[in-house]
A and B are shown apart, each in its own frame.
Chain A
Amino acid sequence: MNILTLLIFTPILFGLIIAILPSSLRSSFKYITLLATLVQLGMSIWIYCNFKTGAAFGGINQESQFQFMQKLPWINLNLGSMGKMQIDYFVGIDGLSIALLVMTSFVLVIAALASWEIKSNLKGFFVLFLLLDMAVIGVFCSLDFFLFYIFYELMLLPLYFLIGMWGGARREYAAIKFFLYTLFGSVFMLLVMIGLYLSVKDPATGNHTFNMVQMMNPANYQQGSVFAVLSHQTIFGISARAIGFVILFIAFAIKVPVVPLHTWLPDAHVEAPTPVSIILAGILLKVGGYGIIRICIGIFPEIAHADAYWLGMLGVISILYGALNALAQHDLKRLIAYSSISHMGFVLLGIASLTTEGLSGAVMQMVSHGFLSTMLFFLAGVIYNRVHDRGITHFRGLATQMPKYTAFIMVAFFASLGLPGFSAFIGESFSLIGAFKSSSVNGLLPYWMAICGSVGILLGAAYFLWTLQRMFFGQVNLKGGSVWKTALTDLNIREKITLLPLALMVLVLGLMPSLVFDKINDSIVTFIHFLQLK
């Protein structure tokens, strides 16, 4: 049995167990879910340890260089005149996926621990949770576009219900907004996917294929097909490949989210219950970033090269707009949501530089933001669970009230604002180095973009420190008075167990970024090399 296949489908097995068990055992569901995520974490750590590095394991556009591969024929339809429709169950990982995969498994454990706060419809919640778990792991592992798309879409429905049924006051609105936004992006992605499928032929079998690795090789495109590299097909007078790139980019940019397409995110994050916010911010946003790197740029490298300026521009806008919005928020969760937009802007900026440093920074930033946003949302959830309020101005002097909690908040805030020694510093600085270097290496991004990105870090410091000052320092002054004062107890043992590994992770990654860089470096180098070949 392939380890990746096990990793993908373990949660659904546990989900089935939960679905079959009678509701009288509902108190055990959270433990079953936790067990499932722990098993997954164990497997992904095993994968991490056994992940080979070196120039022979770069992956990206070399199918043989992927690791833990499994390729099974899945759908084989004889379509008469059009040959065979060939869809494979094809999973495998390279350096781009490994770091995100481990991060995802880790975050899912935390999300399972955060699910203790869920009190109603436990069976539904945990079954949907595990279904979502399967889908996100599947996205990072699939190398067949069709398989990728199925997992990608499969995330939507569980999330709709998770936000809609267990969310806050405006949950219906937030859930449908999220669903429609993402679906809008992905139905057009479906069209591009089918176009790519009909343009690419697998050299081994001569059939059309959904294989993403084959799609990266310009030689596999059929003469005269819509997305063929050499034939310059046009749609409405615009190059077909440019249209394909833009459509895929929009689909993933909605997920990231990149600024003009971000409006679903504050609603969804704020209304979602804590475990779902954690999965949304920690994992789903990375699916967007991962998709942009692997699919948008991987399949349409020359378009990415030509449009890198605009990608960088969108990244900078996201950084600044997200940060400025975060400054203006009165709701702690909304502030974190906007800070996510700002932090994910660095990912896009790093990607747009198309340099080794920039891309490594982007991946590092995704991993680091995965842990940090998890931590931040969990911390916001702690307060909300105790007093059902998140207004920043409604709290004051929490440091004396909840000292341990404040310690963790300070770790999370300082790590997020990019203090050296924490993981976000590495991610952001490498992204910025990439952006600075870009103008001299490939001339894609001007200096001012990198400078604006640095201003974003400054703004980040501003909103985090200001929030710290408003909520935690000074005399104790709570909106709810003495009722709140008794309710706001310090962290309990479960919360400490949850937060401690997260704090350690961001610290360890900040001190030893090589834990990530060693594993991803070969792939990034291969990727940059591949981009220069195009």
Chain B
Amino acid sequence: MHDLIPFIPGSISNVWGSIPYLMPEIYLTILFIVVLVTDLIFGRNSEKLCRIIACAGILLVIHKDYQQIQLLFASGQVNGSFLFSEMLLLNRIAIDFKFIIDALAFVLVLYFEWDNRLSSDRKGLSDLYSIVIGSILGLHLMTMAVNLLSIYLAIEMVSIASYLMVAYRSDNAFSTEAGLKYVLFGAASSALMLYGISLLYGLSGSLSLFSGNLLPGLIQANPLAVSFAMVLVLIGMGFKLSFVPMHFWVPDVYEGASTPVTAWLSTLPKIAAFALLINFLRPFIYYTQWNAFNFRLTLEVIGIITMITGNFAAVLQRNVKRMLAYSSIGHTGFALMAIVTYSSTGITALTYYLAVYALANIGALALATYFANVTDADDVDAYKGLGLKYPAASVCFVIILISLTGLPVTAGFTGKVFVFSAVYGVYQQDHNLWLLFLMITGALTTVVSLFYYIKIPLNLFLKRTEILKNTQEKSYNIIILSVIICFLLVFIGIWPDMLFKLL
């Protein structure tokens, strides 16, 4: 104990020095407490207030994110700054991801209330807002974590929040079942990941990815043991990314959870997990002597399998949310393609692709909510002939699906072009056949994805039906949201520079 005393002042000043770099997260923590307390004080009537506070708070956090960029520039650490003795790494990529996460979270917090099934829950939505803020905090940490311990903690934080969100409608058996499934899968995979982390620690004696003995230690260890541990760690991340074979929970959970929660799960944790994967892979890619475990090949193979499985399974689905669940698996596979390049172009393309995908996916699920609200339609078949009755929503749906398919003139198309050109650029240098296979699979699955995405416009516009249920009410908010999303998708599709200037 006495030996550590000389280090204490240094550690304290390190912690103290790191705090300015953590302002968004500190604001999130305060926001979490404020929302929670508001909920407690005002009880049942607090819903609207909590929502306003949460939204305003997120806007403030976005502002703080922006200040971080200037902070990095001002302190001359353009390449990033390690915080809390290399627990976290704040760099430009992390800030970009935080921007995307916060902006999407803002939209989603607005959208929670518009889902009739979710907002009719007895509990009210106040609790959900505090859970959501907690989850955003976890997501922020995920984008910055560079220590195996902080990685695990961040993932768990997001997971626990997600469990609560999935099972939020506890009076609904379907939702509870989904929640339970999610918890079981999540617990198992995080246990496996923890096991993997402890193996890595045991083999190398270090937890920090960027310094210490982790990589040199692992190189000297038995490659089989290292590979085993790495696979376990990847399983933990794969659970959040939902790549094959860690995707089994996705369809059931996405279908069972309320639609806004599905929109949340299919976008934000996935984006954060990609940020985490970027951070996690970096030391291994740049450490030239690393040869114990071939991350690239593993991720390439996983990417191909994920694209094929996700897209082909989606073809068979009739439930809209289930179909979008499988399609989001397919999108994970496509995004993995960008990550295996591990070039700066690839990362930029990945960020763009994920932002655009998330925007479109939220739009699609919001419209699924809309149709569920007005006609109780859950299945594609139930959309028959609705297109002419609800033209605004249906036209938006078509544009959003076109973007998800990746056809011009939408942002989804430019995203695809950027990913392809990043992969091509790397292929041109190293002639790795797997990259070529990835691109061919990506192109083929685009055609497959059209086949299932088009089912929605097909039912909306092409099929006709005599029986049209009378509408109970209209959800103008969702229409406004989806019109804005459509406009953004087309606008970014034509002028992608605009988004890149922000990133």
A binds B: yes
Minimum CB–CB distance from B360 to chain A (whole Å) comes to 15
Q: Are B408 and A194 in contact (CB under 8 A)?
A: no
Give which listed residue, A78, A153, A160, A226, contacts B408 with CB less than 8 A.
A153
Q: Are B402 and A157 in contact (CB under 8 A)?
A: yes
Kindly identify, within residues 223 to 268 of chain A, every residue whose CB is under 8 Å from any CB belonging to chain B.
224-226, 235
Q: Is B420 an interface residue (CB 8 A)?
A: yes
- Cβ–Cβ < 8 Å partners of A81 in chain B: 343-345
Minimum CB–CB distance from A129 to chain B (whole Å) comes to 15
Q: Are A164 and B461 in contact (CB under 8 A)?
A: yes
Q: Is B407 an interface residue (CB 8 A)?
A: yes
Q: Are B409 and A154 in contact (CB under 8 A)?
A: yes
One of A173-181, A442-450, A451-459, A500-508 contacting the partner: A173-181
Minimum CB–CB distance from A175 to chain B (whole Å) comes to 7
Interface residues on A, range: 35 or more
Q: Are A175 and B447 in contact (CB under 8 A)?
A: no
Q: Are A191 and B409 in contact (CB under 8 A)?
A: no
Dominant secondary structure at the B interface: helix
* CB closest residue in chain B, given A225: B428
Q: Are B454 and A160 in contact (CB under 8 A)?
A: yes
- Cβ–Cβ < 8 Å partners of B434 in chain A: none
One of A48-56, A182-190, A362-370 contacting the partner: A182-190
Q: Is A528 an interface residue (CB 8 A)?
A: no
Q: Is A20 an interface residue (CB 8 A)?
A: no
Our count of residue pairs bridging A and B at CB distance below 8 angstroms stands at 98
- Cβ–Cβ < 8 Å partners of B451 in chain A: 176, 180
Q: Are B425 and A82 in contact (CB under 8 A)?
A: yes
- Cβ–Cβ < 8 Å partners of B124 in chain A: none
Q: Is B150 an interface residue (CB 8 A)?
A: no
Minimum CB–CB distance from A460 to chain B (whole Å) comes to 35
Minimum CB–CB distance from A126 to chain B (whole Å) comes to 14
Q: Are B424 and A184 in contact (CB under 8 A)?
A: no
Kindly identify, within residues 141 to 169 of chain A, every residue whose CB is under 8 Å from any CB belonging to chain B.
146, 149-150, 153-154, 156-157, 160-161, 164-165
Q: Are A80 and B345 in contact (CB under 8 A)?
A: yes
Q: Is B306 an interface residue (CB 8 A)?
A: no
Q: Is B348 an interface residue (CB 8 A)?
A: yes
Q: Are A121 and B496 in contact (CB under 8 A)?
A: no
Q: Is A16 an interface residue (CB 8 A)?
A: no
Kindly identify, within residues 387 to 436 of chain B, every residue whose CB is under 8 Å from any CB belonging to chain A.
388, 398, 402, 407-409, 413-414, 416-418, 420-422, 424-425, 427-428, 436
Cα(A157)–Cα(B401), bound, Å: 12
Q: Is A171 an interface residue (CB 8 A)?
A: yes
Q: Is A197 an interface residue (CB 8 A)?
A: yes
Q: Is A195 an interface residue (CB 8 A)?
A: yes
Minimum CB–CB distance from A226 to chain B (whole Å) comes to 6
Q: Are B461 and A194 in contact (CB under 8 A)?
A: no
Minimum CB–CB distance from A200 to chain B (whole Å) comes to 12
Q: Is B458 an interface residue (CB 8 A)?
A: yes
Q: Is A516 an interface residue (CB 8 A)?
A: no
Q: Is A205 an interface residue (CB 8 A)?
A: no
- Cβ–Cβ < 8 Å partners of B343 in chain A: 81-82
Given contacts A76-B497, A77-B496, contact A194 B420 (CB under 8 A): yes
Q: Are A190 and B443 in contact (CB under 8 A)?
A: yes
Given contacts A81-B343, A153-B408, A188-B443, contact A198 B421 (CB under 8 A): yes
Q: Are A191 and B428 in contact (CB under 8 A)?
A: no
Q: Are A149 and B425 in contact (CB under 8 A)?
A: no
Q: Are B408 and A164 in contact (CB under 8 A)?
A: no
Q: Is A79 an interface residue (CB 8 A)?
A: yes
Minimum CB–CB distance from B355 to chain A (whole Å) comes to 15
* CB closest residue in chain A, given B421: A194
Given contacts A82-B425, A164-B462, contact A157 B417 (CB under 8 A): no
Minimum CB–CB distance from A364 to chain B (whole Å) comes to 32
Q: Are B439 and A79 in contact (CB under 8 A)?
A: no
Q: Are B421 and A156 in contact (CB under 8 A)?
A: no
Cα(A179)–Cα(B402), bound, Å: 13
Q: Are B408 and A75 in contact (CB under 8 A)?
A: no
Q: Are B428 and A187 in contact (CB under 8 A)?
A: no
* CB closest residue in chain B, given A149: B408
Minimum CB–CB distance from A185 to chain B (whole Å) comes to 10
Q: Is B463 an interface residue (CB 8 A)?
A: yes
Q: Is A85 an interface residue (CB 8 A)?
A: yes
- Cβ–Cβ < 8 Å partners of A150 in chain B: 408-409, 413
Kindly identify, within residues 345 to 383 of chain B, every residue whose CB is under 8 Å from any CB belonging to chain A.
345, 348
- Cβ–Cβ < 8 Å partners of A194 in chain B: 417, 420-421, 424
Per the CB 8 Å criterion, the residue count for chain B at the interface is: 41
Q: Are B420 and A75 in contact (CB under 8 A)?
A: no
Cα(A187)–Cα(B408), bound, Å: 11
Q: Is B500 an interface residue (CB 8 A)?
A: yes
Give which listed residue, A77, A160, A183, A226, contacts B428 with CB less than 8 A.
A226
Cα(A194)–Cα(B427), bound, Å: 12
Q: Are B447 and A184 in contact (CB under 8 A)?
A: yes
- Cβ–Cβ < 8 Å partners of A190 in chain B: 416-417, 420, 443
Cα(A235)–Cα(B408), bound, Å: 28
Q: Are B421 and A197 in contact (CB under 8 A)?
A: yes
- Cβ–Cβ < 8 Å partners of B266 in chain A: none
Q: Is A172 an interface residue (CB 8 A)?
A: yes
Q: Is B135 an interface residue (CB 8 A)?
A: no
- Cβ–Cβ < 8 Å partners of B457 in chain A: 160-161
Q: Are B458 and A176 in contact (CB under 8 A)?
A: yes
Most chain-B Cβ atoms within 10 A of its Cβ — which of A82, A85, A224?
A: A82
Cα(A78)–Cα(B497), bound, Å: 9
- Cβ–Cβ < 8 Å partners of B388 in chain A: 121
Q: Are B407 and A156 in contact (CB under 8 A)?
A: yes
Q: Mark A76-92, 1 if CB is under 8 A from B, else 0.
A: 11111110010000000
Q: Are B424 and A195 in contact (CB under 8 A)?
A: yes
Q: Is B476 an interface residue (CB 8 A)?
A: no
Q: Are B425 and A198 in contact (CB under 8 A)?
A: yes
Kindly identify, within residues 432 to 472 of chain B, every residue whose CB is under 8 Å from any CB belonging to chain A.
436, 439-440, 443-444, 446-447, 450-451, 454, 457-458, 461-463
Q: Are A179 and B443 in contact (CB under 8 A)?
A: no
Q: Is B228 an interface residue (CB 8 A)?
A: no
Cα(A164)–Cα(B496), bound, Å: 31
Q: Is B495 an interface residue (CB 8 A)?
A: yes
Cα(A180)–Cα(B424), bound, Å: 25
Cα(A371)–Cα(B417), bound, Å: 37
Minimum CB–CB distance from A248 to chain B (whole Å) comes to 14
- Cβ–Cβ < 8 Å partners of A160 in chain B: 454, 457
Minimum CB–CB distance from A261 to chain B (whole Å) comes to 14
- Cβ–Cβ < 8 Å partners of B418 in chain A: 85
- Cβ–Cβ < 8 Å partners of B348 in chain A: 79-80
Given contacts A82-B343, A197-B421, contact A180 B461 (CB under 8 A): no
Q: Are A187 and B409 in contact (CB under 8 A)?
A: no
- Cβ–Cβ < 8 Å partners of B408 in chain A: 149-150, 153-154
- Cβ–Cβ < 8 Å partners of B420 in chain A: 190-191, 194
Minimum CB–CB distance from B67 to chain A (whole Å) comes to 24
- Cβ–Cβ < 8 Å partners of B450 in chain A: 179-180, 183
Q: Are B496 and A171 in contact (CB under 8 A)?
A: no
- Cβ–Cβ < 8 Å partners of A78 in chain B: 500
9 interchain residue pairs of minimum CB distance: A80-B344, A150-B408, A187-B443, A164-B462, A153-B408, A79-B345, A194-B421, A187-B446, A82-B345
Interface residues of A, Cβ cutoff 8 Å to B: 75-82, 85, 121, 146, 149-150, 153-154, 156-157, 160-161, 164-165, 171-172, 175-176, 179-180, 183-184, 187-188, 190-191, 194-195, 197-199, 224-226, 235
Q: What are some 20 contacts across the A-B interface (CB < 8 A)?
A: A81-B344, A82-B425, A121-B388, A150-B413, A153-B413, A160-B457, A161-B457, A161-B462, A172-B458, A176-B458, A179-B450, A183-B407, A183-B450, A184-B447, A187-B446, A188-B443, A190-B416, A191-B420, A191-B443, A226-B428
